Amino acid sequence: MKARKVTIVEVAKGAGVSTATASRVLGKYGYAGGTKERVLAVATKLGYQPNKIARG
């Protein structure tokens, strides 16, 4: 059985931020204020992996 991938929407909900903010943090661009650590912690906890095809 294939493992379900964690989405950026789930990371954003877990961190209590918008998907745009989570995207800025995970994409390492733009300003994310003081939420960077929270988003990264949630992403690590959930096992978030960026979609290489979507990034291209």
pLDDT in tens, 7-32: 999 999 999 999 999 999 999 888 88
Burial of residue 47, with CB atoms counted within 10 A of its CB: 0-12 exposed, 13-18 middle, 19 or more buried: exposed
pLDDT over 90 at 4, yes or no:
no
DSSP class of residue 35 equals G
pLDDT at 52: 73
Number of neighbours of residue 48 by Cβ within 10 angstroms: 19
pTM of the model: 0.84
Residue-range domains of the chain with CATH: 8-55 (1.10.260.40)
